[in-house]
Structure 1
């Protein structure tokens, strides 16, 4: 697929998916939706990619749905139905229109470089980690557009910030700066705007070179699935996965590089 609304590149085992409508603060379009989905599938299937970064071009991450799209819906235009399952083998929870990031077998890190509003904020929440520029801003936006908690945000947001804070952010749709976002657990790190992408890439590169990709794949699935499991179920899965890990090439390499005091050469098997 030739991309028009995003950029895609792979450097040192890190894929960067960049929303690329900077003149519109990377407002979300149907084309962007298709292209992000395609790029994520490309990164997931590329053995040369171990970590994915999602970010925005220019001074914004994503201002939410493009107003032209909202006007079309308001005027009675057809709203696109959800696409087919991103991964038909994944649990149904990860087969929704925007909720497929948990089905990706690799970590996805949001580098939030500016405003993340509405659907743009939701896309950041579906990432596994969120690093934000110190001038980033977040808003759910929905209540101020006469809309509701779309695309699973009513499930995601309370798990990150707690129920009452989620209620505040959803009801008021107020703007939350980077410092508050970090304090309440909405983002994991706040970095100087000028350093955001470099620091995010450095973290991603450490995962790509120093950590077993097999471990990352299994742990990501465990952590997302655990939210639907009892403690006993999560423990049973962990015990089974640990036995499988003992038989893996990455476990043998993990022990060998530690004993030999050298950088690891993980293969993901």
Structure 2
């Protein structure tokens, strides 16, 4: 998959088009929560070129659409995603998209992306889930990062994300052996926030997404998401400066006033800020602001 590397900056989705003619992805929006379903159950939702292009199209639209407040990513059938499509010619999904398709990683979407891993996940299926913001997993799901057993290495920031979530020692064990592990183990190690019965995974993910949509200011959520992704990359003092500048910028926005008034009046806030247009300029490492 190709995406903008070396940055957690938001992707340019100004030309995002509404999803249509999808054959590998199911997509619906219910009261602000978009559910994106990898839909090749007969292939355990293995990622081929078409699915990858469609996923990029859907995520770009979710990023751009201000009536979408959160995204749930899941799989159809008994698997979340079996990884890249493999054929007799090799990895049919390793180079899964053309440059013009404009891949966008889940961490580049200005809305929280929640992974509902209701079944097996392998390789790219795990690294894709790690690019989401929150993960729920079926306790009996079988997961693996079998890249070395296939003669390759992990991608989609797999090494960095795994170390970030489970620590260097556990990441070394999992990536150097490529062994299988369960959803229960994943939650115990911190790779998922909870391991649940399979039938509860998607409802729990949707409930979390709906809680965000119903209670949190969309612009503040987007800014918080980016600060969280940048937290493991920036030094503590640089990150503290960035937090302060973002907070000061948001204090001048109507949503900050609305949040306080709604709290004092014990009512639900009415947010007016739009992530597509109202995010503050982003502080850079060198003290300037960037879009």
TM-score (norm 1): 0.89
Aligned residue for 2:89, secondary structure, equals helix
- Alpha-carbon distance, 1:151 to partner: 3.1
How far is the alpha carbon of 1:223 from its aligned partner?
1.2
**Alignment partner of 2:207 out of 199, 202, 209:** 202
Shift of 1:47: 1.0
Of the three residues 15, 30, 37, the one matched with 2:49 is: 30
Farther-moved stretch of structure 1 (140-149 vs 173-182): 140-149
> Residue 48 of structure 1 corresponds to which residue in structure 2?
67
Q: 3-state SS of the aligned residue for 1:109?
A: strand
SS in 2 for 1:27: coil
* Secondary structure of 2:52's aligned partner: helix
Pairing partner for 1:83 from 95, 99, 107: 99
User: 1:1-269 counterparts in 2 under 5 A?
Assistant: 1-68=20-87, 71-73=88-90, 79=95, 83=99, 100-269=105-274
State the shift of 1:30 in Å. 0.7
Query: What does residue 90 of structure 1 align with?
Result: none
Q: How far apart, in 1, do the equivalents of 2:101 and 2:26 lie?
A: 23
Distance in 2 separating the partners of 1:2 and 1:133: 31
Gaps of 5+ in 2: 1-19, 275-291
Deviation at 1:43, TM superposition (A): 0.6
TM-score, with length taken from structure 2: 0.82
**SS of equivalent to 2:121:** strand
Displacement of 1:265:
1.7
Distance 1:222 1:133 in 2: 29
Aligned residue for 1:61, secondary structure, equals: strand
Residue 73 of structure 1 deviates from its aligned partner by 3.7
Q: Deviations over 1:182-236 (max 9, x none)?
A: 1111111112211211121111101001011111100111111222211111111
Asked whether the equivalents of residues 49 and 97 of structure 2 are also in contact (C-alpha less than 8 Å), the reply is: no
Residues 135-182 of structure 1 show CA distances to partners (whole Å, capped at 9, x for unaligned) of 222100112212222332111111110011001000111111111111
For residue 37 of structure 1, give the secondary structure of its aligned residue in structure 2: helix
From the superposition, tell whether residues 80 and 258 of structure 1 become closer, same or farther in structure 2 (CA, over 3 Å).
closer
Mapped contact 1:125–1:157 kept (Cα < 8 A): yes
SS at match of 1:228: coil
Long gaps (5+) in structure 1: 87-96
Deviations 1:12-58 (A, max 9, x none): 10011100001111011011110000000111111110000100001
* The 10-residue stretch of structure 1 (189-198 or 157-166) with the greater mean CA deviation from structure 2: 189-198
Distance 1:190 1:149 in 2: 24
Rounded to whole Å, the distance in 2 between the matches of 1:188 and 1:231 is 25
Residues 1:74 and 1:53: Cα distance change in structure 2 (over 3 Å): closer
Structure in which a larger fraction of residues adopt helix: 1
